[in-house]
């Protein structure tokens, strides 16, 4: 019964026009920041530790901007359940998409790397407006099955396939010799069983995924970074494609992992309010 009620609510949100979504988002901002104080300690601690050079006033300003953007992100993602490909094209400006298509034209396995920044889901849907090549979204299934199902529906709307990280090799073997895109949102916190590699990220020792590097070296597939950014007008974004790694075999062990994280950090530092600060990114420390 609860799941049916939730499905009905999500369906109604997906039917809302964007102007109404943003009105609702404004209300949620007030509730999350001033009343519920959603994950306030996590968000402020993450910001303080990432930017020790900033004053408390500057930290508070970034946090407020994040809280204002966060409801937009959630509601926009739910809107994707009903959004058309034409609407995606209208709201997402693609920049240097040839950096992706030139590799596909050579029948390569392209590794599309991005982060939990701005509305990364727009970037995933934007790929469907560029190419008909198979698009695999590499992910770790969520513990909450209902939320996991919702996000699977959102992300596969235009033909992409959700592939658990443990199954990606099997899928890529089947696509060998054919053009394909494998999407990695690789900035989340891995478990100790997923990775044991730490590096400096946003001023902190950080446990990071190395799967992006392993898969690129296994397939010798170029890594194209998809930088999703928010435009000045609300609800509009851009996606800039940059070839981060042309030939993975030319790089030493863990070098690609460092390059990806450094590139992501530079983007975050430019406009920090659009990264997912509510995530407990640094909850896992180096084991003694």
Stated pTM of the model: 0.94
At residue 286, the pLDDT reads 86
pLDDT of residue 2: 61
CB atoms within 10 A of CB 113: 26
| Cβ atoms 246, 224 nearer than 8 A | no
The pLDDT score that the predictor gives to residue 1 is 59
pLDDT at 123: 87
Annotated domain spans of the chain: 84-274
CA atoms within 13 A on the CB side of 137: 26
pLDDT of residue 222: 97
Per-run averaged pLDDT (10 residues), the chain, 288 residues: 70 90 97 96 98 98 98 94 91 96 95 96 88 91 75 84 90 91 92 90 96 94 97 96 97 97 98 97 87
Angle between helices 40-50 and 56-79 (to 10 degrees): 120
Crossing angle of helices 120-127 and 56-79, in 10° steps, is 40
What pLDDT shows up at residue 144?
A: 73
Give the pLDDT of residue 3: 67
The confidence score (pLDDT) of residue 183 equals 95
Q: What is the predicted pLDDT for the residue at 12?
A: 87
Rounded CA gap, 237 and 227, in Å?
A: 10
Predicted pLDDT of residue 177:
87
Strand partners, 226: 241
């Amino acid at each position: 019964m609860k799941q049916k009620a939730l499905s009905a609510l999500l369906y109604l949100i997906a039917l809302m026009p964007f102007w109404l979504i943003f009105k609702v988002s404004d209300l949620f901002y007030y509730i999350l920041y001033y009343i519920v104080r959603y994950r306030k300690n996590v968000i402020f601690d993450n910001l303080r530790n990432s930017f020790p050079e900033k004053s408390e006033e500057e930290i508070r300003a970034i946090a407020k901007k994040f809280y204002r953007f966060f409801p937009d992100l959630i509601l926009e993602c739910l809107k994707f359940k009903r959004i058309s490909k034409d609407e995606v094209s209208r709201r997402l400006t693609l920049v240097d998409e040839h950096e992706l298509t030139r590799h596909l034209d050579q029948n390569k396995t392209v590794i599309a790397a991005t982060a939990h920044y701005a509305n990364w889901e727009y970037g995933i849907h934007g790929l469907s407006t560029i190419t008909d090549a198979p698009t695999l979204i590499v992910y770790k299934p969520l513990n909450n099955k209902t939320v996991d199902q919702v996000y699977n529906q959102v992300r596969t709307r235009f033909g992409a396939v959700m592939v658990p990280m443990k199954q990606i090799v099997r899928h890529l073997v089947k696509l060998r010799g054919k053009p394909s895109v494998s999407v990695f949102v690789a900035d989340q916190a891995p478990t100790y069983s997923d990775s044991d590699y730490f590096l400096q990220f946003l001023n902190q020792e950080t446990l990071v995924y190395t799967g992006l590097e392993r898969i690129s070296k296994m397939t010798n597939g170029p890594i194209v970074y998809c930088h999703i950014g928010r435009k000045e007008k609300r609800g509009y974004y851009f996606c800039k494609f940059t070839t981060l790694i042309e030939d993975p075999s030319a790089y030493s062990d863990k070098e690609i992992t460092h390059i990806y994280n450094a590139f992501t950090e530079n983007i975050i530092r430019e406009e920090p309010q659009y990264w997912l600060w509510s995530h407990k990114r640094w909850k896992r420390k180096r084991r003694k």
